Structure 1
Amino acid sequence: ETITCLLCLPLFVPSTRSTQNYIMCGYKSGWIRVFSESGVLLTEQQLETTPVLSIKMRTPPPVFKVPSQSVFKEDEDITILFEGKKVVSIDGQSLWLVLRVCDGQRESGIDTSRMHTAFQYKKWDLHHQDQVKDVVSLGPSPIHSRPSQPYTNSTQSFGNASTRYIGVGIYPMLTYYATAESTRTLSAASMATYVVSRVASPVFSFAKSWWTSGNASHPRKAATPYVPNLHQPPTHIEPATPIPAVLSANDPYRQINQISLCPPSTSSQRHTLAATSDALGRVILWDVIEGEMIRLWKGIRDASCGWVEVFEHEIYQQQQQPPSPPETIPRVLLFLVIHSSKLGSLRIFQMRHGKQVGAFHVGPGWKLVSCAREPLGSSMFCDKSALSVAAVLGIMEDAQLSGSQFSWLGSVFYLGYLVCQLPNNYLVQRLPIARYLGSVLVIWGIVMALTALCNTFAQLVGCRFLLGLFEGVTYPCVYILLSTLYRRSEQSICWGFVGISTGMGTVLGVLIAYGLAHLDGVAGMRGWRWGYIVFGIATVLIGVLTFFFLVDDTHHKLLRLTKVELEIVEERAKDNCVVRTTEIKTEQIWEAIQEPRLWLILLANILNCIENGGLVTFSTLLVSGLGFSSMTSIILQIPNGVAAALFAIGSVMIAKRIGRNTFTAISTSLVSLLGCILVVVIPGTPKLIGFYLAWAMTGTGALIQTLVSNNVSGYTKKVFYNGTNMVAMTLGNFIGPLMMTENQAPHYTGAIIGYAVSNAVLIVCLILIYFIMSKENARRTSHPPESETDVYLDLTDKQDRNIIYKL
């Protein structure tokens, strides 16, 4: 086979905030294949039987660099042109998910050939031109406008076109196309179905493969080299849908071979310029909005074009200049790069008027390969922090709350959480988790949205109690899912990502709340009311997705497991030491009650969550007490979420590497203790350093849950441990805000000292837990059992002598 074109495809990895590179190749046979940067085939699909002519990616503007006013929502897409005027458009989000899933399968050693992972696409036929040599996607149109070049022939108006393309070639040489059908083929619900049907969580596989790559005892499998099957018959080829041409420009003596669209420098500027090269050695600069030529270069044979852009403030960031007001759109320096493979030259021109600013000789034979402008995927816990943010957005004034009443609003949430645990322990074992959790999430979201209607302390207390009551279901369900779907060796990573989701949820919630603060007074409502409405609606949507698409069993029908995969599932179940059952075994509950380890873990959870409850509820008030404004106090909550996420994932990664969960939990508790001390003793705004260090408690919490999930077996016993831990965590979170009394404001020194003492006692509990399990391990290794245990007997960790506790 022959590769006819390729695209460097960077992929955004949210868990590490980094970019991972892939290569998408088009073949003469019409196949599209995506490889890792080390050359391992991840996914392939035959979209046509004719050669691939071009592959291009369109990404939206970097809205994080520019003002948020007038932002028009854009999605990413991949545009592939085949010989015969066929264009395939792949939605960026769907491709991102497919590649993440495929790479996760590869890292886990799963044979991807059995998984039949394929990306979704739409196919168009550009039938208006005799030949199409290249095509670009302009994306969706925010306004009903079209180019107005006087010599072009308009065949239709744009109307409500969702996606626009420019095709270049011959007869006509340049044509605008538009389709009223969106390139996004998958809804959020169908996308969720697609992901869970392929793998339960590829993110955890990524974490596992990354962490074990440096461990000599876990050598990484060598990837199988890619060998194309040249005798493979053509797959089913979907027919293309003709789309209308809305505008065309023709010169019967000119054939345009290539078009390169400039990046959308800002949300308001969007795509404005394009460069084309033709068979006569001419390069034309176009204004694609107006449909007019700006400049012409001659004598550049076999030319190909690309773009480079630089934000001016990034160049001069070292200069001492006053910051620009937030409404100012940053200046973008845009350059056109023209490469001639025949001449071996590379010339650079500054836009918009085409002044040459550089020229290089690279030699003949080279080819200019474009890279995506932004990583693919870069364009894709809020309820508890919503109260904290609401404190500076007017809730205390609207409901006439005192400081003590605000403390009770933080605590009554966990009172509802506590009341929920007894019935929840029964229901979580008797009902399908997906249906149960999804239903509760919908009700939870409705209650949260209705909180916006509250005007008195009594009404807020009622809603906060109900919020806690319904949220109390979620954590135990997540615990059971992680304990039954993942191996013991994987569960620490799972809990680390739970911690990341909590921290990143806080960051996301704060960013949204900052935006909602500017809605203060819209429709006659304060900003804090808008916050509850938005988060409530989001929770309802997540509940619907959970109800229908959450995989809650290793044999779930959505997984569509083959016989080979079923064997893998059975092996994983043996490693988990637990299988799900609806039978409640009272003897396992009694066994748990008699264990000193249970009570030490409960005390450790209470002590850890005392600090968590206080900081979650009062974080914004603590920061504003340092002299920051309300808006600044909200923004300074972002490092809280980042710190919580880093401590959570960092602690479990370290614990996995050294094989000691308890020692790592002791270390994070020491860091949190140090943070509390710094908050008390350091004067002024530097207290923020200690405040952020105090969030090391999230790492401690994740590791305590890992200790339970790794070392407790017997399904009823595990559910009981989980339920009592939820009670302990609830009590801690209930007590924490009550320690923040009104007479301590604004620094709440007495409460912070109390949190420091809690951390000290917590360390003692963790040391005792370690010695109890270490002593039992020594006894079991000295007298090992003679046979393996059948996991389906549902034995407890005390009954199963083969279990060695993970310390």
Structure 2
Amino acid sequence: MSSFGSLADEKVPASRTSTSEKNASAFASDDGEHVQKAQSDVDVTVGLVAGHDGEEISAEESRRLRIKLDWRLLPVLWMLYTLQFIDKSTLGASSILGIIDDNHLSAGQFNTLGSAFYIGYLVFQWPQNWALQRFPVAKWVSLNIFLWAIFLGMHPLCKNFGSLFALRFLLGASEGAVTAGLMLVTGMFYTRTEIGERIGWTFQCNGFAQIVSGFISFGVYHVSPTSKPNQWQWLMIIVAVLTVVCGTIFLLLFPDNPTSARFLTTEEKIKVVHRVRGNQNGIETKKWKKEQFYEALRDPKTWLFFLFAAVSNLQNGVGVQYSIIIKSFGFSTLQTTLLNIPSGVAQIFGITLGCYMLRRMPNSRAYLAILFFMPSVLAAILLMTLPFSNRVGLLSAFYVLGFGGAPSFVFVVSWVASTSAGHTKRLTTNGIFLIGYALGQILCTQFWRMEYRPRNLVPWGICLASYVGDFILLLALRTLLSRENARRDKLQPGGPHEEDEYGWVEVNGERRKVEKALMDLTDRENLSFRYVL
């Protein structure tokens, strides 16, 4: 079986295994038989594509479909990610616009508000992933967008730490659907070689959001601090209104999966499903399967990805502290509102370069992530050692942090999205990874204490130590997956056999032949699956 966008695009061979080989390793098993399942147990697209399994897609047609998907999906995702980052960064922007004084916050309480968002994110990550499987994806995400607009819009009513903590917690709980949804939908519409770039381009919007947030902060700074609403309250109100607009557009335009994409014809929907079959993880299955859940818990790569997310996000306390850090270099409040804008530009440039390099070297995620972390290591050292008289040097080092760290994290997000098959297993793996992300974010905000200012040697030192942990985990992941690919290659010296690449499904009472990629098999069950590196 071959098609444009197949496993060959990742420069790894397809594979199979026979019944006699299935016990060769505890890491993976595949009985090599023509499995039969009920329609409710397999992919939602089976009814659409059944009977079309022999069709091939030309490279030209695949490219046309990819361009059409990009124009219809990416602008909506970019809008969503821009607003999401602006929403959660409003606390950092508000730190110099009056929220600390108006709510009588200590430095410790302000740091805890940064953690509150990710506590909500962590607590609700599993329920969010469960809901993403049970309910239509786009509609569930839209509901959460409207919820976070409400929670953000209620911030100006707060008068103390407790009320702010509750709203930040709820804001994190509702925004927990966004990255999980992004990791899910990119795999529905794009091949594994395309997922990395699309996730990267979407994460670029974090940098764009920093630019937009800087200009909004600059504008509201000119509101009189004694007016009602005052500066930080206007910031929250403006962003909440923008979020309502974003939620409405997302609800109207974004499909739940290829079968519900109104901008595609029936023929195009079938071709979209076929062009991603090389991913070997299907599109979507609405039935939660406990055996896949337990398999994800037993899979060593799940926990290596979890540890990477937790360790790498120990570096992200600057997401809440950035205004305080920049102002500590000796800049005024007005200057500080604008001086974070170049950090967003640096992040966009870094991710753009990273996406280009990933396209040229598609099986080099671990090495590229380590390479892009290097400038951040240098930046942290400079921020610890440069004298405060060198404001330009300190500010430049701060910008370099965004250039290096952002693309490295993007590489791993796309890696997680591409290395698990079986819909329940994929959602479970994604959820555990994002729980690690939230845990790191919760911890990192607690390092930026008043007693460490302005030099902040302790938090910058923790950042440096976390980079070393990142390098070890990235190399461990690549070694694990590379060895498993090699083991699978040895199980099929004769190459792939067409007859082992399908199963049988009852569709409307009729027994139909269906590609194995749509049988909702996990990466352990399906030895045709190859891990991208």
TM category (shorter chain) comes to 0.7 to 0.9
| Aligned equivalent of 1:475, options 163, 169, 179 | 179
Aligned to 2:53: none
Distance 1:554 1:663, change over 3 A: same
Distance 1:588 1:680, change over 3 A: same
Q: Does 1:639 align with 2:336?
A: no
CA distance in 2, matches of 1:107, 1:526: 55
Alignment of 1:532-681 (within 5 A): 532-563=236-267, 565-577=268-280, 578-612=282-316, 614-659=317-362, 660-681=364-385
Aligned to 2:518: 792
Distance 1:202 1:448, change over 3 A: closer
Q: CA RMSD in A?
A: 2.3
Given that 2:257 and 2:283 are in contact with CA atoms closer than 8 Å, whether structure 1 keeps it comes out as: no
Given that 1:421 and 1:723 are in contact with CA atoms closer than 8 Å, whether structure 2 keeps it comes out as: yes
Aligned to 2:444: 736
Aligned to 1:245: none
Name the amino acid aligned to 2:470: L
Name the one with the larger helix percent: 2
Distance 1:520 1:788, change over 3 A: farther
Aligned length: 444
Aligned to 1:714: 422
Shift of 1:652: 2.5
Given that 2:304 and 2:477 are in contact with CA atoms closer than 8 Å, whether structure 1 keeps it comes out as: yes
Distance 1:557 1:111, change over 3 A: closer
CA distance in 1, matches of 2:442, 2:183: 21
Q: Does 1:417 align with 2:125?
A: no
Aligned to 1:805: 531
CA distance in 1, matches of 2:69, 2:469: 42
Shift of 1:674: 1.9
| Aligned equivalent of 2:64, options 81, 97, 110 | 110
Given that 2:182 and 2:199 are in contact with CA atoms closer than 8 Å, whether structure 1 keeps it comes out as: no
Question: Deviations for 1:265-321, whole angstroms, at most 9, x for unmatched residues?
Answer: xxxxxxxxxxxxxxxxxxxxxxxxxxxxxxxxxxxxxxxxxxxxxxxxxxxxxxxxx
Further displaced range: 425-434 or 523-532: 523-532
Shift of 1:693: 1.8
Identity of aligned residues (%): 28
CA distance in 2, matches of 1:455, 1:645: 36
Name the amino acid aligned to 1:788: E
Give me the TM-score of the superposition, normalised by structure 2.
Answer: 0.79
Question: Deviations for 1:468-488, whole angstroms, at most 9, x for unmatched residues?
Answer: 111112221121111212111
Shift of 1:559: 2.1
| Aligned equivalent of 1:759, options 452, 467, 476 | 467
Shift of 1:198: 7.3
Name the amino acid aligned to 1:752: W
Shift of 1:203: 10
Name the amino acid aligned to 2:431: G
CA distance in 2, matches of 1:202, 1:445: 20
Q: Does 1:498 align with 2:202?
A: yes
Aligned to 2:396: 689
Given that 2:186 and 2:198 are in contact with CA atoms closer than 8 Å, whether structure 1 keeps it comes out as: yes
Question: Deviations for 1:374-408, whole angstroms, at most 9, x for unmatched residues?
Answer: xxxxxxx1012211111111111111211111111
CA distance in 2, matches of 1:733, 1:642: 23
CA distance in 2, matches of 1:561, 1:544: 24
Distance 1:549 1:670, change over 3 A: same
| Aligned equivalent of 2:156, options 452, 467, 476 | 452
Name the amino acid aligned to 1:673: V
SS in 2 for 1:472: helix
Which 5+ residue runs of structure 1 have no aligned equivalent? 1-104, 116-194, 205-380
CA distance in 2, matches of 1:579, 1:566: 12
Q: Does 1:200 align with 2:73?
A: yes
Shift of 1:557: 4.6
Name the amino acid aligned to 1:806: V
Given that 1:410 and 1:617 are in contact with CA atoms closer than 8 Å, whether structure 2 keeps it comes out as: yes
CA distance in 1, matches of 2:480, 2:69: 39
Distance 1:107 1:734, change over 3 A: farther
Which 5+ residue runs of structure 2 have no aligned equivalent? 1-58, 78-84, 503-515
Name the amino acid aligned to 2:456: Y
Name the amino acid aligned to 2:501: E
Distance 1:420 1:516, change over 3 A: same
Q: Does 1:395 align with 2:112?
A: no
CA distance in 2, matches of 1:440, 1:543: 8
CA distance in 2, matches of 1:406, 1:508: 23
Shift of 1:776: 0.9
Shift of 1:762: 0.8
Shift of 1:567: 3.6
Shift of 1:540: 1.2
Name the amino acid aligned to 1:795: L
Aligned to 1:463: 167
Q: Which has the larger radius of gyration?
A: 1
Shift of 1:529: 0.7
Higher relative contact order structure (alpha carbons within 8 Å, sequence separation ≥ 6)? 2
Given that 2:73 and 2:254 are in contact with CA atoms closer than 8 Å, whether structure 1 keeps it comes out as: no
Shift of 1:573: 3.5
CA distance in 2, matches of 1:759, 1:765: 10
Shift of 1:602: 0.6
Name the one with the larger strand percent: 1
Aligned to 2:213: 509
Give me the TM-score of the superposition, normalised by structure 1.
Answer: 0.53
CA distance in 2, matches of 1:560, 1:433: 18
Aligned to 1:782: 490
Distance 1:482 1:403, change over 3 A: same
Shift of 1:649: 2.6
Name the amino acid aligned to 1:691: F
CA distance in 2, matches of 1:454, 1:199: 39
SS in 2 for 1:705: helix
